[in-house]
Chain A
């Protein structure tokens, strides 16, 4: 019996270790590609599709500087998920704070992708787990799923095009869990509308989608500090 348990533990450890080694290779490849881009700026159009929010697509400018400086500037009000587009790379670059585990292959958008689980080491981290679907030939992330303590699960889909060589996506789609939005009528001064029935409320989508279409990337051109400092 002891021998069986020993063999099981050995095989399990070997499996994890093998998966981890491959996962580390993939993560290193992603980081290497990510580090090709020291800075970038780009134009973006942010289009939210959230049941309780009515807003037209908003134009914005995106600025990024290694390792983790990120800024969105828009002339008007725009909305993004709390976990923004730089979060996955900000996470990956801190290699000491997580364990990557390769769990296999899955088909997504007609592509065979490696699935890598990212398990944070500390139990105080806001992130519980991240799952990445990676094209390990081109070293591109096509999909990420981040499970957080406070905000549930967020799914991020990336569509790559012209800037795939730098690992920069053309379209990013965030799919987030949404809670019901309700404030007292007296506070909203919204006295002539009828409240949604429980049935109508139940039929409301539980997920919201925000699509960010990015274009006109300017890569590795120095960016002034005030872009990241100013409010």
Chain B
């Protein structure tokens, strides 16, 4: 029964044109970045290595597929949550707006099951979007630029990873990103339970992500206290899989905090959906 409801929800998700906006956006943005890198990538990377160039000379291929993929994923980190929220923020509120939620509530399954099936459908959509991002960024970059070492730019250090040491890091980064995006999906689903139109939850989700990201970026002592409690602080922990050595304790801690956020948002969503007064 559970898998059947999930299947039905997936059909609903993929029958809406907006569900393909994410895939198209990724295709267009990533293709443009790949083209730009192909045309003028070396200049871009000379900017990264600029602070080193006065004393050192870097030898070898700077423009590798791994390097380009890392830059693309890093660039899209703010946009992907929007693409996820575009669909997951609509899961409940879309039904409310269309008036189909009443019909849905008359089905012989609990409201909790309905919400959980929407949650799982949202996660499957998120996973597919992430796989597509992986194919378009990493797969295509490896095809165009070939394999090679990569430079990870951090604010106060540079990490140079050897090619054979990168594949597992990318897989780990994508796995962590899946948990990160699941937080966004669950948060927008939660907001979706409070609204009767889709725009509210989608915009609110993005507003919260942008606000939290700004707070996380600003180096003001007052914000240092709240930073550990913001889910956006932990969403970028995928970058830690490119550290040397990898800080497993920090990754684990962030994963635990993100899973706790998922549980919290999902619990609030279930509570709210069960109490929701369905009038129309």
Q: Which residues of A contact B (CB under 8 A)?
A: 52-56, 58, 60, 72-82, 84, 150-152, 176-179, 181-196, 208
Contacts and interface: CB of A to CB of B under 8 A. Distances in A.
Tell which of B51, B59, B160, B216 has the most Cβ of chain A within 10 Å.
B59
Tell which of B62, B153, B160, B236 has the most Cβ of chain A within 10 Å.
B160
Contact of B157 (A52, A76, A79): A52
B162 A56 contact: yes
A188 to B, nearest CB: 5
Contact of B244 (A54, A72, A82, A194): A54
Nearest to B215: A191
Interface of B: 51-52, 54-62, 74-75, 77, 148-149, 151, 153-160, 162-163, 165, 213, 216-217, 219, 224, 227, 233-234, 236-237, 239, 244
Given A52-B156, A77-B59, A77-B160, 6 more contacts: A76-B162, A81-B57, A152-B55, A176-B55, A176-B56, A189-B74
A81 B59 contact: no
Contacts of A186: 217
Contact of A54 (B51, B158, B216, B239): B158
6 contacts: A78-B60, A79-B58, A176-B56, A179-B55, A185-B217, A189-B239
Nearest to B153: A188
Contacts of A195: 155-156, 219
A53 B234 CA distance: 24
B156 A196 contact: yes
Tell which of A56, A58, A152, A192 has the most Cβ of chain B within 10 Å.
A192
Contacts of A56: 160, 162, 165, 244
Contacts of B74: 189
